[in-house]
Amino acid sequence: MTVLQNTLYVTTSEAYLRLEGETVCVMIEDQKRLQVPLHHLSAFVLFDHVMLSPALLGRCAEDGRSVVWLNRSGKFSARLEGPVSGNILLRQAQFRAAEDGAQTLRIARAVVAGKLRNSRQVLMRGARETDDGDEKEALVRTAKLIANQVRKIPLAEDLDTLRGLEGDAARLYFEALPKVMKPQARAEFPFDCRNRRPPRDRFNALISFLYALVLSDCRAALETVGLDPQLGFLHAVRPGRPALALDLLEEFRAPLADRLALTLINRGQLQAGDFDEREGGAVLLNDKGRKTVIAAYQTRKQEEITHPVLKQTLPVGLLPHWQARLLARYLRQDVAHYVPYLYR
């Protein structure tokens, strides 16, 4: 059984990480601030300018540890690549499926169904928890509308139609989502639609950052399994775009990112002071806010759930990994279907 190991997130710019025996030392301004055994870590996520010693880089490449650099808002900037891992026969099967229109559509439909069903689940949970009758009704209404979109998925005969269904459902979802927020938090987190590049309100800044964290985990999961994260099915190939990682991200957006964002806001763990507003209206999490979000995400990853297919309990953090494995299985024709993770 795969074990969930820790990811070391380093948010301090100019930090220097070096290998000392079998441990990693985090040096900040020539002072040792942290020392962790290497065997407890499976990945490094480094924000901004964080340096690794050549010895540590070499060791990570050798052991297949994922090392990813993100910019301050969580946007991907670089990663370490060791020897090409995984099985060429699997990648060959992935490339063949991507060339096959019917196969591509089948997988893309499953991806969209996963995304829509899971976002619907977030709204229904909000409906169960609210005391306001009107808002409950509005949430239920949107959940029904999204269910209708899900039912149309098998009828979508091409990717554009499918993306249209997805877009319509996403708009409905984000319009309803503020109602899942506690009324007292809404003044600090006003939002009415999804925006990005850059995000223009606190909620959008928060979910953008969380999507970046989950995407990084999806990408690492695909690479570990031996799939090529750049060749997707719903997401078209574009240089530098991790299309398959974005496909995998879809089913996890609502349960891993949106739900966590709402919890952090509803519990008052994040406030306006955790964000910086830039000249012109862009909004970003600041250092303090980022640390809170990362810590909450790490905790969430340790929570145990029962996987509907594996029928065993596993930590939430391994969900991307297991879904990547199920996808690999499907592509190798070991199983007849790819089924996304369905959040309950």
Partner 1 sequence: MSRPTDALLQIPLSSLNQYAYCPRRCYLIHAEGEFKDNVHTVSGTLEHERVDQSESRGQVGIRIEYALSVWSDSLGLSGRCDVVEFHPDGTIYPVEYKHGKRKQWDNDDLQLAAQALCLEEMTGKPVIRGAIFHQQSKRRREVLITEALKQAVREAVPRIRTLLNGAIRPPPLQGADTKRCGECSLRDICEPELAGADPTLSALAKSLFEPEEDLP
The only residue of 65, 117, 235, 253 in contact with partner 1, by rule CB under 8 A? 117
Q: How many residues does the chain have?
A: 344
111 binds partner 1 (CB under 8 A): no
Packing angle between helix 101-129 and helix 259-266, nearest 10 degrees? 20
To partner 1, the closest distance from the beta carbon of 311 in angstroms equals 7
- Residue 44's beta-bridge partner residues? 8, 67
To partner 1, the closest distance from the beta carbon of 151 in angstroms equals 6
Select from 7-15, 254-262, 289-297, 326-334 the region that touches partner 1 (CB under 8 A).
326-334
Select from 51-59, 234-242, 272-280, 334-342 the region that touches partner 1 (CB under 8 A).
334-342
Residue 95's contacts (CB-CB under 8 Å, 6 or more residues apart) are 228, 231
180 binds partner 1 (CB under 8 A): no
Name the nearest CA neighbour of 214 among 81, 24, 37, 341.
341
To partner 1, the closest distance from the beta carbon of 144 in angstroms equals 7
163 binds partner 1 (CB under 8 A): no
Residues 287-316 that bind partner 1 (CB under 8 A): 308-312
The only residue of 145, 150, 282, 305 in contact with partner 1, by rule CB under 8 A? 150
**Measured distance CA(14)–CA(38) in Å, rounded:** 21
To partner 1, the closest distance from the beta carbon of 152 in angstroms equals 8
To partner 1, the closest distance from the beta carbon of 265 in angstroms equals 22
Select from 30-38, 45-53, 65-73, 151-159 the region that touches partner 1 (CB under 8 A).
151-159
113 binds partner 1 (CB under 8 A): yes
Packing angle between helix 202-225 and helix 243-252, nearest 10 degrees? 120
Residues 91 and 104: beta-carbon distance below 8 Å: no
Using the Cα atoms of residue 178, residue 108, residue 231 and residue 164 in order, give the sign of their dihedral. Answer: negative
57 binds partner 1 (CB under 8 A): no
Backbone angles phi, psi at 19, to 5 degrees: -85, 130
Residue 284's contacts (CB-CB under 8 Å, 6 or more residues apart) are 72, 73, 198, 199, 205, 275, 276, 278
Question: Angle at Cα 79 formed by Cα 11 and Cα 300, nearest 5°?
Answer: 50
Residue 235 is assigned to a ligand binding site:
yes
Looking at residue 306, the DSSP 8-state letter turns out to be E
**Contact map string, positions 120 to 139, toward partner 1, x by CB under 8 A:** x---x--xx-------x---
The only residue of 41, 56, 122, 153 in contact with partner 1, by rule CB under 8 A? 153
Residues near partner 1 (CB under 8 A): 1-2, 87, 89, 109-110, 113, 117, 120, 124, 127-128, 136, 140, 143-144, 147, 150-151, 153-154, 308-312, 325-326, 329, 332, 334-337, 339-340, 342
